[in-house]
A = this chain, B = another copy of it.
């Protein structure tokens, strides 16, 4: 409905409306020197959780911090069927609300623009998509027909046999919201002649469950008293190699004769021709040996290892939003066909767990996870919270502490960790979200 600009304006307009609107955490450009920048979440009496996103720019890596953060309360309203949106605003405030809490991190590349749009717009897409299915969410088993009308007597049985629960509607809404947000970013970036993309990690607490939707290489983990629960997995050219290679197998023209779809342990050279070298094709999790032909000397579609892994020699992530215009440098090869904007959604049901006082959700961009593993973060979380039990700002302080640890200290011209390993050179953003007493006002 309407141009992307008007939709974004409308999302922002909606934010101002008391009780119904979406409080928006506006992303903004960070200063060009290293320093703290607290994420500014609109002060809302509805946002009951203390949250903190310290952000830091590291060691002159980029002029602008490409990470963006957002957090807000999302009020899901039952739609009166048949009414237009503008008419709906005229209806007096209804008591029929479902409330969700939302946190998200966006790690931009090729400029911060896509991350800024996403941080302003994704929660609006989520709100919209949830409202579209809200009639089904309030039932344990959603009805076959959203209207509740039963066309077949056995409709409830079909739904039950397929094990469709309210939770699946939320997952579907998140998947569709990411896709819509990606489309809007594409239109907006084209209209304003901007480039770039971003990863997206979004957490939604809704109806007693935590949903974590991830498209990119950020990460969310639950640090509980007795264990650590990963709530996301990373999507990179390495982890999605088979999907990417398969697409090139199905549509070889996408590579325009410039890339080889095979993976090799290193870039091949003339001396390798005629030799049998290690390789993998799209259908292989294992490795084989392949007699090298001249065509294998082309640059590999997926190449490099770990943080150096690249898709088409260009991108370090394989899922995210934006990048609609991105081409491989000096070619006509588009990157977007190989990217997915669909998140993987993980669900954590609080009803099945006894949440303790110091249990938290940690969300962070790759800048943190590049230098700290889950175990190290969990150790820091537990010891910090135990040592600062009386500090009312201890969750914010913990977030700062995590960023600080990953940023390291500048010694001569290098940023170093305490253990004298090299520190993260990337932007770092961290959310620390306490899980205890989450339903108290």
Q: Which residues of A contact B (CB under 8 A)?
A: 129, 132-133, 136, 142, 144-147, 149, 151-152, 154-155, 158-159, 161-162, 164, 167-176, 179, 250, 265-266, 269, 271-272, 275-278, 280, 283-289, 305-306, 340, 342, 344-345
A277 in complex: contacting residue of B145, B280, B285, B286, CB < 8 Å: B145
Complex CA gap A169/B275 in Å reads 17
A287, B145: Cβ atoms closer than 8 Å: no
Chain B min CB distance to A140 (Å): 14
How many copies make up the complex?
A: 2
Closest A-B pairs by Cβ, 7 of them: A171-B286, A172-B286, A146-B276, A172-B288, A158-B265, A158-B266, A168-B287
Give 15 A-B contacts (CB < 8 Å), ordered by A residue: A146-B275, A146-B276, A147-B275, A151-B269, A155-B265, A159-B278, A161-B305, A161-B306, A164-B278, A172-B280, A172-B285, A173-B288, A175-B285, A283-B340, A286-B345
- A284–B283 Cα distance when bound, in Å, is 23
Minimum CB–CB distance for A289 against chain B, Å? 5
Given A265-B162, A289-B132, A305-B162: A142 and B278 interface contact (C-beta under 8 Å): yes
B275 touches A164 (CB 8 A): no
Residues in B neighbouring A162, C-beta threshold 8 A: 265, 305
Q: How many angstroms between the C-alpha atoms of A169 and B277 in the bound complex?
A: 12
Question: B179, A275: Cβ atoms under 8 Å?
Answer: no
Nearest B residue (CB) for A132: B289
Q: Is the CB of B159 within 8 A of A277?
A: no
Contact present for A173 and B286 (CB under 8 Å):
yes
Partner pick for A286 among B144, B170, B287, CB 8 A cutoff: B170
CA A89 – CA B101 in complex, angstroms?
A: 71
Whether B144 and A278, one on each chain, are in contact in the complex, defined by CB atoms closer than 8 angstroms, is yes
Q: Are B272 and A151 in contact (CB under 8 A)?
A: yes
Residues of chain B contacted by A142 (CB below 8 angstroms): 278, 287
Q: Which residues of B contact A144 (CB under 8 A)?
A: 265-266, 277-278
Q: Which residues of B contact A277 (CB under 8 A)?
A: 144-146
Query: Which of A283, A305, A340 gathers most chain B CB within 10 Å?
Result: A283
Q: Are A288 and B145 in contact, with the CB atoms below 8 A? A: no
Which of B155, B173, B342 has a CB less than 8 Å from the CB of A283? Answer: B342
**Contact at A145–B286, with CB atoms within 8 Å?**
no
User: How distant is the Cα of A164 from the Cα of B167 in the complex, in angstroms?
Assistant: 40
Our pick among B164, B169, B272, B288 for the contact of A133 (Cβ within 8 Å) is B288
- Taking a contact as CB atoms under 8 Å apart, the answer to whether B250 and A151 are in contact is no
Chain B positions within 8 Å of A179 at CB level: 283
Q: How far is the CB of A78 from chain B (nearest CB, A)?
A: 14
Contacts of A149 in B (CB 8 A): 275
Given contacts A159-B265, A250-B250, A275-B151, contact A146 B286 (CB under 8 A): no
The CA-CA distance from A271 to B150 in the complex, in Å, is 10
Min CB–CB distance A233 → chain B (angstroms): 13
- In angstroms, Cα B154 to Cα A269, docked, is 14
Told that A151-B275, A172-B285 touch, could you supply 20 new A-B pairs with CB distance under 8 A? A132-B288, A136-B278, A142-B278, A145-B277, A146-B277, A151-B269, A151-B272, A155-B265, A159-B278, A168-B286, A168-B287, A172-B280, A172-B286, A172-B288, A173-B288, A174-B286, A175-B283, A175-B285, A175-B286, A285-B345
